[in-house]
Structures are given as structure tokens and as C-alpha cells.
């Protein structure tokens, strides 16, 4: 495990304990009060996979998941591209690279065991000019180091055998990249957590999570309290708000991603996932196409700042969420450094014509009339105060609480491995 790449951050828990002593709810556990071994905050795929791993590793332990919404998997877990990534992009040795490889294998096994379909449609990364060949070569090298199975370099005619609608000078092909419905996996996990003896409380929005000398206190609706020996917070788009000082140098920036549905006959000619050579300075993948597990072909998602962290309507505005982004100095540094990209992403969002123009670089036959506005998702992307998007997964400990502060793509692919990793971290002695 690449411990060096982990951003473990020891916080001043003494201060938390001092605050706690003035809190009437935290005078120690009454002897008859139920104390969970672990309270998991967030019923997305990461929280559910963590609870599932805990209950399987330690049968009989007391694990409760608390979820703000009425259903599990209401946010990123059900608003994503559904791609089971094979590990093409990630820096070798990073948490993303290690946990994606392990998570993919665990996800494949879980889906096999539960009759959840995965379609191995494959992934093509296409260089459209000689200028992109060095970038493609670097990606091939990286993917090889990450152990991406079955990876091949393709020339112009070979790539057309795999994707006849695509034009390019060269490509790499990952045949084990698949597609599936992560929300279906999450719903299955929720059922199993309960069968394994866990408790799932929905419509239970957490207001605060506090590490104490005895364990932790999770405060929810109407001042209701869950006490635990440990807590793991997997709150996705709200992660920074529950982390307090553990997130004092990071902010969650919500990035909307909109899709276009591709209509027939073009959709019939797209067989798998097709991507450009990405900009290495950004964690987003550029203009791409995905054949989904239900057979639809979607173009996107793009990436542009969202003004709400939880409303899936185009251009919904939450004053609190907007102020959180626009009032963060890091955001303005990022915006100034990426003005050109921001304009392109915005135009892709509002104009099918602009999106089709960009896609035409490697799918020459696409027209704006092939693209029809589809749904959108909102990514939880952590940014540091200097305006850098944090690339790797980021997990920090605050006393008896573990906070998942950055779990963007491929975190759904990696979810079982992230859960396994967090379950192991819980066992580590609290500093």
C-alpha cells in the first residue's frame, strides 16, 4: 500500500476534546446507551461498501449508516457514466491506481455473485494528430505500469476495426474496461448490510461529527445523536462541511457534468467508450462517448462549476453553495489559470453544436442533430487553497473519525477497495 501517497493528517484532537467538555451531549456514554462500533455517514457507494466490508471482516459488530436522503445512492453514485475503469490514467503507486486495480476485481466478483450485468465494451483513447502521439505514449506507459489488462497500441486501420466510426492516427485499447449500473450495486449493498446485521437510517441528515475521548458523537435531525467508537464520513459533495478543521485547507468544488444522448443511426455505430488524449493538468477526461450498460450511447459529461451541490436542474443556484465556491480564494486562482478551458466547457454545456464540433475531431460523421440533451451529474472535487484540484483520493483522520475528502472518478470502480482500506484504517490506533 503506498502509504507515502496518503495524505494522513494528524489533527489537534485535544482542542476537539476541550470543545466537547462544554457540550452537554458529550459527558460520556450512559451505561444503557447503545454505542455503535462504527457510524458511517453517507449512503453512497463508498459508505455502503465500507459498512459491508466492516461487517464481513468483523461479523457481529455494530455498524450504522446514516444517510441524509430518503434513499441510498441519491447523488454521485446514481449520476455517473457507469464506467468500470481499468486504470489507464492514474499515477502509478497513487491511491487511485492501487485501489482502482483492486476495486475493479472486487466489483467484478460482486457483480458476478449477484447477477448484476457488466458489459466489457472496451475503451479506446484516440490521438487525432501526430502532436498527440507523445501524450498517447505516456498514457500507454502509465497504463502498463498500472497493470491494465489486455492493453494494446493500435494504428489507424486497427482502431477502425474496433470503432468503425472513429478517425485517428493511433489509439490505445483497453478491452477490460466495462460498463455497469453503480446505483444497482449500491442498492444491493444496502440490502446486504442490513442482512449482515447493520442498521441503515435514511432521511437522517448529519449536522456534525465530533471526535471525543471515548469515541465520537454524530448529531442528526432534531438533535438526535448516534454515538460510536469510530466514525467514517463518506459524505461526497458535503464532505468538507462535516470535516471541520480536518478540511481547513481544502474545499469541495461541485463540477456539473451534462450528457447528450446520441441518437440512431450514429449510436448504432459506437461500440464502447471512446476518449481523446486527456489534458494531463486536469482530472477530467475531455469530450468522450460511452455506450452504457442499457445500450444507450451518451456523449459527455463536460465539467463546469455547479452553483448547487445537490440540485439536478440546469443552472440551479444555491446561495450557500455558490458563496462557498466563489468565496474560496483557490477557486479564483483556478479560474484565472483555466479561462480558456472554462469557456470551452461552458460552450459544450449550452450548445450541442459546440459539443459536436469538438467530437468531430475523431468521430467525423457526428452532427449537432445527433445530440439530445440528457441528464447531469455533480462531481465532488476537492481543491486546495492554491487553486489546485486534488488528483488523488484524500482520506484524513481526526481523532476517532476518518473523513473521505476526495473520492472522484474512479471511486465508484474502486469502492470495494476503498471500503476495505477504510475498514483497515479503523483498526489503526487513534493518534
Ligand X SMILES: Cc1cc2nc3c(=O)[nH]c(=O)nc-3n(C[C@H](O)[C@H](O)[C@H](O)COP(=O)(O)OP(=O)(O)OC[C@H]3O[C@@H](n4cnc5c(N)ncnc54)[C@H](O)[C@@H]3O)c2cc1C
For the bound state, the minimum distance from the C-beta of residue 368 to ligand X, rounded and expressed in Å, comes to: 22
Element holding 83 (H helix, E strand) = strand 83-84
Q: How far apart are CA 5 and CA 55, in angstroms?
A: 27
For the bound state, the minimum distance from the C-beta of residue 282 to ligand X, rounded and expressed in Å, comes to: 14
- Quick one: 7 or 333, whose CB is closer to ligand X? 7
- Quick one: 170 or 193, whose CB is closer to ligand X? 193
91: three-class secondary structure by DSSP: coil
- Quick one: 66 or 363, whose CB is closer to ligand X? 66
Q: How far apart are CA 265 and CA 164, in angstroms?
A: 13
> Closest CB to ligand X belongs to which residue?
44
Cross-strand pairs, 403: 233, 396
Closest CA to 84 of 428, 412, 348: 412
Q: Are strands 63-66 and 199-201 parallel, antiparallel or unpaired?
A: parallel
Q: How far apart are CA 117 and CA 293, in angstroms?
A: 8
Q: Are strands 289-291 and 401-406 parallel, antiparallel or unpaired?
A: unpaired
- Quick one: 97 or 170, whose CB is closer to ligand X? 97
- Quick one: 160 or 271, whose CB is closer to ligand X? 271
For the bound state, the minimum distance from the C-beta of residue 182 to ligand X, rounded and expressed in Å, comes to: 6
For the bound state, the minimum distance from the C-beta of residue 310 to ligand X, rounded and expressed in Å, comes to: 8
Q: Classify residue 119 as left (phi > 0), alpha (psi -120 to 50) or beta.
A: beta
Q: How far apart are CA 79 and CA 193, in angstroms?
A: 22
The count of other CB atoms within 10 Å of the CB of residue 57 is 14
Q: What is the per-residue DSSP string for 209-270?
A: EEE-SSSEEEE-GGG-EEEEEEEEE--GGGHHHHHGGGGTTEEEEEEEEEEEEEPTTGGGG-
Q: How far apart are CA 286 and CA 299, in angstroms?
A: 10
- Chain residues in the site for ligand X (CB under 6 A): 41-47, 66-69, 74-77, 79-83, 85, 205-206, 234-238, 242, 257, 301, 377-379, 407-413
For the bound state, the minimum distance from the C-beta of residue 389 to ligand X, rounded and expressed in Å, comes to: 14
For the bound state, the minimum distance from the C-beta of residue 102 to ligand X, rounded and expressed in Å, comes to: 13
For the bound state, the minimum distance from the C-beta of residue 61 to ligand X, rounded and expressed in Å, comes to: 21
For the bound state, the minimum distance from the C-beta of residue 184 to ligand X, rounded and expressed in Å, comes to: 13
- Quick one: 257 or 330, whose CB is closer to ligand X? 257
- Quick one: 67 or 345, whose CB is closer to ligand X? 67
- Quick one: 80 or 212, whose CB is closer to ligand X? 80
- How far from chain centre, in Å, is Cα 90? 14
Amino acid at each position: 500500500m503506498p502509504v507515502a501517497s496518503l495524505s494522513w493528517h494528524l489533527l489537534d484532537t485535544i482542542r476537539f476534546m476541550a470543545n466537547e467538555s462544554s457540550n452537554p451531549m458529550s459527558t460520556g456514554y450512559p451505561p444503557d446507551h447503545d454505542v455503535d462500533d462504527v457510524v458511517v455517514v453517507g449512503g453512497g457507494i463508498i459508505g455502503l461498501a465500507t459498512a459491508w466490508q466492516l461487517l464481513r471482516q468483523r461479523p457481529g459488530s455494530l455498524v450504522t449508516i446514516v444517510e441524509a436522503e430518503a434513499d441510498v445512492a441519491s447523488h454521485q453514485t446514481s449520476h455517473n457514466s457507469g464506467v468500470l475503469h481499468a486504470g489507464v490514467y492514474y499515477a502509478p503507486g497513487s491511491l487511485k491506481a492501487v485501489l482502482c486495480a483492486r476495486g475493479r476485481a472486487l466489483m467484478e466478483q460482486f457483480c458476478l455473485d449477484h447477477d448484476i450485468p457488466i458489459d466489457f465494451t472496451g475503451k479506446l483513447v484516440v490521438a487525432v494528430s501526430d502532436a498527440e502521439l507523445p501524450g498517447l505514449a505516456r498514457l500507454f506507459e502509465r497504463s502498463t505500469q498500472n497493470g491494465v489488462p489486455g492493453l494494446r497500441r493500435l494504428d489507424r486501420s486497427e482502431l477502425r476495426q474496433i470503432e468503425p466510426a472513429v478517425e485517428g492516427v493511433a489509439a490505445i485499447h483497453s478491452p477490460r474496461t466495462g460498463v455497469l449500473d453503480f446505483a444497482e450495486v449500491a442498492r444491493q449493498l444496502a440490502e446486504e448490510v442490513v442482512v449482515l446485521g447493520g442498521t441503515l437510517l435514511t432521511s437522517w441528515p448529519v449536522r456534525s461529527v465530533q471526535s471525543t475521548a471515548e469515541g465520537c458523537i454524530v448529531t442528526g435531525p432534531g438533535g438526535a445523536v448516534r454515538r460510536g467508537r469510530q466514525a467514517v464520513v463518506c459524505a461526497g459533495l458535503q464532505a468538507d462541511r462535516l470535516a471541520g478543521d480536518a478540511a481547513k485547507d481544502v474545499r469541495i468544488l461541485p463540477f456539473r457534468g451534462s450528457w447528450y444522448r446520441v441518437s440512431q443511426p450514429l449510436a448504432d455505430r459506437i461500440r464502447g467508450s471512446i476518449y481523446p488524449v486527456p489534458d494531463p493538468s486536469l482530472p477530467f477526461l475531455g469530450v468522450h462517448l460511452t455506450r452504457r450498460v442499457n445500450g444507450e450511447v451518451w456523449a459527455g459529461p463536460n465539467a463546469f462549476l455547479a452553483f448547487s451541490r445537490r440540485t439536478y436542474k440546469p443552472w440551479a443556484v444555491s446561495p450557500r453553495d455558490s458563496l462557498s465556491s466563489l468565496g474560496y480564494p483557490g477557486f479564483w486562482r483556478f479560474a484565472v489559470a483555466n479561462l480558456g478551458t472554462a469557456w470551452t466547457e461552458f460552450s459544450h454545456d449550452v450548445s450541442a453544436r459546440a459539443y459536436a464540433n469538438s467530437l468531430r475531431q475523431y468521430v467525423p460523421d457526428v452532427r449537432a442533430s445527433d445530440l439530445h440533451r440528457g441528464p447531469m451529474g455533480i462531481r465532488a472535487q476537492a481543491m486546495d487553497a492554491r487553486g489546485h484540484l486534488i488528483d488523488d483520493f484524500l482520506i484524513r483522520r481526526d481523532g476517532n473519525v476518518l473523513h473521505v475528502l476526495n473520492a472522484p472518478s474512479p471511486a465508484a470502480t474502486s469502492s470495494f477497495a476503498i471500503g476495505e482500506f477504510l475498514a483497515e484504517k479503523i483498526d489503526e490506533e487513534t493518534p
